[in-house]
Amino acid sequence: MTDDTTPPAAPRIVTAEHARLAEATGAAEDVLFEANPWYEWGPYLSERAWGTVREDYSDSGDAWDYFPHDHARSRAFRWNEDGMAGLSDIRHDLCLGLALWNGADPILKERMFGLTGPQGNHGEDVKEYWWYPDALPSHAWLRWRYHYPQAAFPYQQLVEENARRSRDEPEFELLDTGAFDGGRYWSVDVAYAKASPTEVLARITLENHSSEEAAISVLPTMWFRNTWRVSGGEAPSLFLDGDGVAVEHPRLAGYRLDAAPTKEGVRPQALFCDNETNTARLFGSAPVTAYPKDGINDHVVSGADTVNPQHRGTKASWWHQVTVPGGGRVELRLRLHRPSPGQVTPPAGWSGSYFDDVMAARERDADEFYAAIAPAEIAAEPMQVMRQSCAGLIWSKQMYPYRVNRWLDGDPTQPAPPAGHRNGRNTGWRHLDSFDVLAMPDPWEYPWFAAWDLAFHSITWAHLDPAFAKYQLLVLLREWFQHPNGALPSYEWNFDDVNPPVHALAAIRVFVIDGGTDLHFLKRVFNKLLLNFTWWLNRQDPDGNNLFGGGFLGLDNISPIDRSHLPPGFKLDQADGTAWMAYYSVAMLTLATKLAEYDDVYEDMVVKFLEQTVLIMDALEDSGCYDTEDGFFYDRLTDPSGNSFPIRVQTLVGLIPALPAVALPTQDTDRNRRLRKRFASRLEQTERHEILDWQVRGSGESRRTLLSVLPMDKLARLFGTLFDEEAFLSPHGLRSLSKRHNTPYTVPGLPTAAIQYEPAESRTAMYGGNSNWRGPVWLPVNYLIIRALLQYDQFFGPEFTVEYPTRSGHHLTLREIAGDLADRLVSIWLPGPDGRRPVYGGVDLLQNDPAWKDNLLFYEYFHGDNGAGLGAMHQTGWSALVADLLLDPPHHSHRLVFGDTADAATTTGPPETTMFNKIEGRLSVSGESRSAREL
């Protein structure tokens, strides 16, 4: 029995970075607030705050139009801040970012530019190039890289050309404008190294890739988030203090940002303004201050008298003006620190050998950390993929302040929002009150959490910082996020949307990756997920027949119809809705079974979820979603006249029923005898228990029960389609839509509801046109299929094989297939025989130029035929799952919740039938290899 109050075991200290992470104490959420001093400064600053829901106070709910990019330099944000290469303190009071000016742009480059949803021909789209080369989870080491054109940035050309293009044409990118032709650009590398939790050293390296001399202004900028305007309190202050910009603030007093002179001895100039809206420019009203938020911008670009000559304000920059010869580089050094009592400045100054030593030490720490967690046999290129994907995940952390009731009603010191705002988006979530550091899907395109994305983020985070991974799963289950009715908030644009219930699976993976000992965490997750599971039962099964919907379910436009907004009078039975619920039930059963090993209180929950799984299996069997002729699951649509018919489109929707699977240990213990007796008694009360297709094999310690929604005959037929290279199997993973749909399919009776295999960007405007589940490869569902294959393999062992690819004549074990699918996904980023990385497609600069080709981007999804990256470019949320595939390779993964796969293969005798198994055993396993086709 384990006491709920028992804290998790301290992590094993392997490297200096592990020692930093081990400084956290207490519960997982305490890690974020002073429990670990190394978290005080981190990459919590978003790369886009404009155009977000939180900053939208419009009557119509048009966030893009209410707060556009053109306002961002001049208008104080209400809830959060944005910037480039940004850091902030953990409470998001003080921010540090980078501004640049090439001498030709009409504005400073303070934030990334991109198109709004309505502007892009395929939805919102950032039009810049930057990367996250390296990072440590404690933020003791961070690297960021950006490429900045030397000619005027083509803002208007990007807007106009993309507006001209239709959805049938590709997006017009910054590279297409010729902005980087002839090497006329700067590469800007920023490295942060912590000498201590309160001392951050910053190195900015600028390289002129042109053959000609060029000048650039570099402005490291520090500012306060504007909280005083709504609180009515006194504003904090930044002021010049000798060679530093000093901080005057109730909590952060004593911090200062020092800037070293260049090698030539030139010191930068300090500029000050206020983080206040330029009301005169934006609204034609009286100014709040003579030195507004864009004061430094206007002073640098046009020489305006808009910086405070008293060297004081709430925003300050060090203005470096440097000229660099063609092919040359220059380095700038800064120090953000708060001197500790008795701390002595290095005799030769902080910017000399002391600076170099700290930088080298932190980079060495990163090398040691990743070497310690990576498999010993990993090669250099996969190591680079793993390390950069992890870095992107770390850089995607953001502080997320959002108090919904205050946002809806407005601040007491400000005018009330219009009625459309107060009664619009997220009105049912007034309890939501976030002030948390969350792992975001993407710092620019998706700078807000998404529930099922966050579950996937936590899996890779478990390899890096298990405490933070656990917090990501726990926080959405806390009372300030989870709805009182049990629902989890989906994503900022619509908390009411329904995401696939993958939190329980994520909790299992985090628990296992962390060593499988933190039962305290497992209990907390399980108990709160019970509320969410009950919400699914009560809200997503309107007819009470265990057929579940959900509409959106995170798969956006995977259907020819918008499943969240059906035509009037139509009803949809979703094959994936019910299957996702079966997946949830199996995952909760897995959690309950593990917890019951230590606490017999959870035996009731084992029986409950066994029963629930049977009910859902029963409902899925009766739903009519399975097509016996095609051997595939389809959504079924019922029209207003009552006519019901399948939507015969082969998508990942039809493969979700294959995901619920777990190989449970069924050793002949007193506990399992009790469970079998109780469940057998309960099962007798069900009407269709004969559909239960569990199989038991082995004896003694190796005895296992396979719990799967599908019988093997249906599973084998699905595998035949799934592993067909003319259908789902691509060189770089599993497609979201079968390639067999090259010929368009139209829903009978709905001529506008059509779908066709589109390996790249979608031509539909559904969900804003910025998503495509109509052909491309998506990592999250690929990942779930890989995990399911390992569960099946854990039961069947090496004697069970499947033809792979279909019609190839080659038979592999399910573990070998899982490994090959993982290899295909990883290969997206690896150089092929021709030296080209599939992720960069036909873009020669990205493929060949030394300044570009080894900087990796982790896209939202990937071309269904060639693996080229598509969608958001920095989706190192769930695309960082590639790191989990490298750190825990499916070929020899032992990180399964109930032990090593080898256990299942130790016995080759016939399966045993128990009270769990209510049908005759249909598997006949002998020492010879058996294929799925034979079963």
The Cα 601–Cα 917 span in angstroms is: 24
**Binning pLDDT at 50, 70 and 90, where does residue 263 land?**
confident
Predicted pLDDT at 122? 87
275 close to 314: Cβ distance less than 8 angstroms: yes
The phi and psi torsions of 756 (rounded to 5 degrees) equal -145, 150
Q: Name the 3-class secondary structure at 651.
A: strand
Q: Is the pLDDT of residue 49 over 60?
A: yes
Q: pLDDT tens for residues 874-923?
A: 988 899 999 999 999 998 766 676 654 433 333 333 333 332 332 222 22
* Mean pLDDT calculated for residue range 402-428: 94
pLDDT tens column, 164-183: 999 889 999 999 999 999 99
pLDDT at 33 over 80: no
pLDDT at 303 over 50: yes
Calculate Rg over the CA atoms of the chain: 28
Backbone angles phi, psi at 418, to 5 degrees: -65, 160
Q: Give the closest residue to 612 by CA, choosing from 677, 667, 686.
A: 686
Q: CA-CA distance, 450 to 491, in Å (whole number)?
A: 4
Q: Determine the straight-line distance between the first and last CA of the chain, rounded to whole angstroms.
A: 42
User: Where does the pLDDT of residue 518 fall: very low under 50, low under 70, confident under 90, or very high at 90 and above?
Assistant: very high
Residue 701 has pLDDT above 80, yes or no: no
pLDDT class of 13 with cuts at 50, 70, 90 = low
**Average of per-residue pLDDT across 283-302:** 97
The partner residues of 497 in beta bridges, in order of sequence, read: none
Residue range 368-384: mean pLDDT, rounded: 96
Round to whole Å and give the CA distance between 17 and 372. 10
- Model pLDDT, residue 799: 86
Query: Confidence class of residue 692 from pLDDT cuts 50, 70 and 90?
Result: very low
> According to the model, what pLDDT value does residue 680 have?
60
Which segment of 92-96, 349-353, 523-527, 662-666 scores lowest on mean pLDDT? 662-666
Higher pLDDT, 407 or 620: 407
Does the pLDDT at position 72 exceed 80?
A: yes
741's CB contacts (< 8 A; 6+ apart) are 649, 650, 755, 756, 757
What is the distance between the alpha carbons of residues 114 and 501, in angstroms, rounded to a whole number?
A: 32
Q: Is the pLDDT of residue 666 over 90?
A: no
Closest of 77, 322, 340, 140 to residue 218, by C-alpha: 322
Three-state secondary structure call for residue 424? coil
Of 274, 271, 294, which is closest to residue 224 (Cα–Cα)? 274
SS3 (DSSP) at 722: helix
Q: Which residues pair with 646 in a beta bridge?
A: 636
Tokens of 145: 């890289």
If you average pLDDT over residues 430-453, what whole number do you get?
A: 94
For residue 329, pLDDT beyond 80:
yes
What is the arithmetic mean of pLDDT over 526-548? 88
Q: Determine the pLDDT at residue 899.
A: 56
| Half-sphere exposure of residue 921: CA atoms within 13 angstroms, side-chain side | 16
Say which residues have a Cβ less than 8 Å from residue 679's Cβ, sequence separation at least 6: 606, 607, 610, 611, 915, 916
Task: Count other Cβ atoms within 10 Å, centred on residue 545.
Answer: 14
CA 740 to chain centre: 30
Helices (H) and strands (E) in the chain, counts: 23, 36
Mean pLDDT calculated for residue range 199-224: 98
What confidence score (pLDDT) does residue 792 get?
A: 92
Alpha-carbon distance of 567 to 587, in angstroms, equals 34
Mean pLDDT over the full length of the chain: 88
3-state SS assignment for residue 129: strand
Asked which of 334-343, 673-682, 715-724 is least confident by mean pLDDT, the reply is: 673-682
Higher pLDDT, 677 or 383: 383
E strand segments, 677-778 = 695-697, 704-708, 729-730, 733-734, 745-746, 754-755
Whether 3 has a pLDDT exceeding 60, the answer reads: no
- Give the per-residue pLDDT at 915: 27
Q: Is the pLDDT of residue 808 over 50?
A: yes
pLDDT at 392 over 90: yes
pLDDT recorded at residue 556: 82
CA distance 338 to 500: 45
What percentage of the chain carries pLDDT values higher than 90?
72
**pLDDT value, residue 12:** 62
> Which residues are registered as beta bridge partners of 853?
none
In the chain, pLDDT over 70 holds for what percent of residues? 88
The Cα–Cα gap between 924 and 911 comes to 7
Cα 151 to Cα 131: distance, rounded to the nearest angstrom: 21
pTM of the model as a whole: 0.93
pLDDT of 220 strictly over 80:
yes
Considering only 71-75, 623-627, 861-865, which range has the smallest mean pLDDT?
Answer: 623-627
Q: What is the band of 365 on the pLDDT scale with cuts at 50, 70, 90?
A: very high
